[in-house]
Amino acid sequence: MVESPSRSLLPAALRVAVLLPCYNEEAAIGVTVAAFQAALPEAKIYVYDNNSRDRTCAVAAAAGATVRTERTQGKGAVVRRMFADIEADIYVMADGDATYEAGAARRMVEQLYAENLDMVVGARVSDQTAAYRSGHRFGNAMLTGLLTQMFGRSFSDILTGYRVFSRRFVKSFPIRSAGFEIETEISVHALELVMPVAEVPTAYGARLENSVSKLSTYTDGFRILGTMINLYRYERPIEFFGIIAAFLLTISTVLAIPIIGTYLETGLVPRFPTAFLIVGLVILATLSVVTGLILDTVTKGRGEVKRLIYLQHAPPQG
């Protein structure tokens, strides 16, 4: 049998793992597993169940996947467990809801291997109205734009759950997120270590009948926003605390102008409580700047450690 040209791009010894975090996906997980088996027949497919109350585990096992369980609730907890447990050279991560284009997995894996990348992001492209619930498309665009403002660069779709990783990405990623904010943390990890990455458009479809999204537009949206702010504080402390210091100094300046004007005219300071408040705000602003400087040293040290761990693992082409 003649091997297809696309398949020959990957060495036979390359270990590819497909990771599918799942919660109550009985209606879609069988279709998802079958689609990835067809796209990457050489890959081993893992379904990590997150306390499902339906037949997700049974359906996944019947479809041929290796089924494991993570008891701590939340997608971030599941991804942390998957990344810790699974040994492979290349990892494909997607959701188990059959909305992602499994057929794109091979070209994403091949691109990661051929270009020696650490991550290929499957940016979602859809003309189906049902694929995105009301507010999701706007929220994604808003959060993506905000991440660009915070870190100077970003991806066109930071919330996609469809990604391909190198081993050195997976084993150097210190996951802190508990829920759906994990995708944002993944993006920031790649940006802060300046990893070689790529982004490719992939089709995104509507959920199957009887399959329900677990993402809450507002609750999870605010959690993702909070995660972005925390990551900005962790990774860019000088900028974060500098903004706070500038805000405090602005307020103190506005309050001080009339007091200074009165003092220059009369030689008196008529509003001592306001004067004390101004002094307090200036002290807080100074402390914010000092805090940012100290934490910047800590951040750089932590970044060097993450970089060293990252470099301990071979790239896709070894």
Domain end (from 213, 232, 251): 232
Same domain, 215 and 300: no
Strands of the sheet with 66-69, listed across from one edge: 66-69, 44-49, 16-22, 90-93, 163-166, 119-125, 197-203
- pTM value is 0.85
Average predicted confidence (pLDDT) for the chain: 88
Domain end (from 201, 232, 263): 232
Same domain, 44 and 183: yes
**Mean pLDDT along residues 12-17:** 93
Structural domain total, the chain? 2
User: What's the pLDDT tens digit per position in 119-173?
Assistant: 999 998 876 555 555 556 777 788 888 888 888 777 888 889 999 999 999 999 9
Instruction: Return d(Cα 293, Cα 171) in angstroms, integer.
Output: 29
Instruction: Return d(Cα 36, Cα 164) in angstroms, integer.
Output: 13
Would you call 312 exposed, middle or buried from its count of C-beta atoms within 10 A (0-12, 13-18, 19+)?
exposed
What CATH number is associated with residue 13? 3.90.550.10
Same domain, 186 and 247: no
Residue numbers of the domain that contains 274: 237-311
Sequence-separated (6 or more) residues with CB below 8 Å from residue 159: 140, 143, 144, 180, 183, 184, 224
Point out the least confidently predicted range of 3-17, 198-212, 249-263: 3-17
The one-letter code for the residue type at 144 is T
SS3 content of the chain, % helix, strand, coil (to 5): 55, 15, 35
132, 105, 131, 98: which is closest to 120 by C-alpha?
105
pLDDT at 261: 80
Alpha helix segments (H runs only) across 152-271: 167-171, 182-192, 219-235, 237-266
User: What's the pLDDT tens digit per position in 154-166?
Assistant: 788 888 999 999 9
User: What's the pLDDT tens digit per position in 184-234?
Assistant: 999 999 999 999 999 999 999 876 776 676 666 677 788 888 889 999 999
Same domain, 177 and 287: no
Residue 202 tokens, joined: 């992939």
Measured over all CA atoms, what is the biggest interatomic distance in the chain, rounded to whole angstroms?
98
1, part of any domain: no
Whether 252 contacts 198, CB under 8 Å: no
**Mean pLDDT along residues 91-96:** 96
Domain end (from 216, 232, 248): 232
126, 127, 116: which is closest to 164 by C-alpha?
116
